[in-house]
Amino acid sequence: MKYTLPTLNYAYGALEPYIDAQTMEIHYTKHHQAYVDKLNAVLDKYPDLPSKSLNELLSGVDKFNMDEKDRITLRNNAGGHANHSFFWEIMSPIKEIDQKLSEEIVKTFGSVDNFKKIFSDAAASHFGSGWAWLVRNSSGTISVYSTANQDSPITRGDTPLIALDVWEHAYYLKYQNRRGDYISNWWNILKLV
């Protein structure tokens, strides 16, 4: 089985003016496609692994019997594929963060505004390429952190709930070095009440 790009259920310009159409198109057709292609290429070398689901690849990546260089390639590209697939989905114009999660956010962080501040700080202060996350831990509680490169919370045993890509390729065409503006504008896309 070969991994493929998931269908994007909205137009490249649908998130304008917060994320521009050109960034969306390059991000989806070039960057995400490259993670998919490299994931397929590394899996070709390990015939036993492709039968595993993407989640199984991510949660097991540190345990598989494989060359260490290939393990890094698998970690980066399975993560890249999973992270971007999730990111497109939560930014979809038809996706709403469900009421139950919104209530849990208020209960955990005090208010939606305080959650946004904590999440934005994690995204803004992350050094270099990576992601900011709201996740559900294995204990059932929710928390915010950032990960480097394309590392997935699934590898840590956590379930992604909200994600923000803070790689420069996600914002540089429109925002250049202004990561903070990209982050504050991005909240206009996420339908979190």
Site residues for Mn ion per CB under 5 A: 165, 167, 170
Q: Which of 42, 79 has the CB closer to Mn ion?
A: 79
Grouping H, G, I as helix, E, B as strand and the rest as coil, residue 152 is coil
Q: Which is nearer to Mn ion, 89 or 103 (CB)?
A: 89
| Gap between the Cα atoms of 138 and 140, Å rounded | 5
Q: CB of residue 132 vs Mn ion: minimum separation in angstroms?
A: 12
Minimum Å gap between C-beta 49 and Mn ion is 24
> Phi and psi at residue 176, in whole multiples of 5°?
50, -125
Q: Which residue is nearest to Mn ion (CB)?
A: 165
Q: Which is nearer to Mn ion, 105 or 153 (CB)?
A: 153
- In the complex, the smallest distance separating the C-beta of residue 140 from Mn ion, rounded to whole angstroms, is 29
> Which one-letter DSSP state was computed for residue 5?
P
* Backbone angles phi and psi of 166, in degrees to 5: -110, 20
Least CB distance from residue 165 to Mn ion, whole Å? 4
| Sheet bearing 142-148, strands edge to edge | 142-148, 130-136, 159-165
Q: Which is nearer to Mn ion, 48 or 89 (CB)?
A: 89
Q: Quote the least distance from Cβ 182 to Mn ion, whole Å.
A: 12
Nearest residue (CB) to Mn ion, 88 versus 167: 167
Residue 105 CB neighbour total at 10 angstroms:
24
- Closest by alpha carbon to 83, among 25, 185, 171, 165? 165
